Structure 1
């Protein structure tokens, strides 16, 4: 068994909405840069809908996509059928990564990331497979933006709840409580960095 840190990274509005039916409800370029700075040079795990919403493989990252569709074969990604298989594959790929290209506090972060969508986040957290959360909070109400765009409320996707009994807000990338970063695109934003109250996730080694 190999101990490898696993992180989950997402952006949400003030009420925990992360998107709507595979689409985003805001544009905050500084947060995009933050996402890239945190995940570059690593392994990213996502569901098929997230892969399709991105539209292509993310540069400088190795992609693992979860889907039960046997006829689906994207270019530039490894396809697996469930989260256990994704984490086993990530463990093997983690050992093959080049030197960490990230800078500053980002180098303290995991090199394996769950990046969406909502059901994949929920499954990974419920199974205890994630030990760090890097959450960008966008200072707006996404439900109002969705309503203005004609998006039905039932299509809104919410982030998993973060239970402070399980998570500590003491990660090095966290902004001080109540402090927002400058407006970028649609809104100001901040980063919350949570760590699970236990040892890092242990991923199965490949035989």
Structure 2
């Protein structure tokens, strides 16, 4: 049940942020094709930090814990994503921004949970990247991308953020982390058995 609450809290924080502050996730990156927009990236950090705090508070409520490390990790995750979405060169595209922000988010969360496992970092970074790209695809398929009204804009960001939140939340939930740790332990056990048999 904790994993379900964690996943819903993550998705809920991302959706609230998506509707109010278009963060995390976007269907387009940056305003300039080849150049950074530093002021847009800085604003993205500020707005992403707000969404990160909201998401972390919901996550802590879901787990029944208080953790400043979780707040820092959530702020890093969403602030990096928002900064890249707003300020990175458009030539990078969504895939590159999602990959970079996914690695940052995964590393920050591994630090927060004090489990610096490469398997956890890679799996959760992939979940972040895939969730963002699937969210963009679904929003596009629903005809929400490039909408000119505030309602279309908010709906597009809510869809992208919701899918990103569900994939990221599932991968980083207590059950998701437990599966990765079990696989890691099984791999270590297999190596020990191989050494003993040789």
**TM-score where L is the length of structure 2:** 0.30
Determine which structure has the larger strand proportion and give its number: 1
Q: Which has the larger radius of gyration?
A: 2
**TM-score where L is the length of structure 1:** 0.29
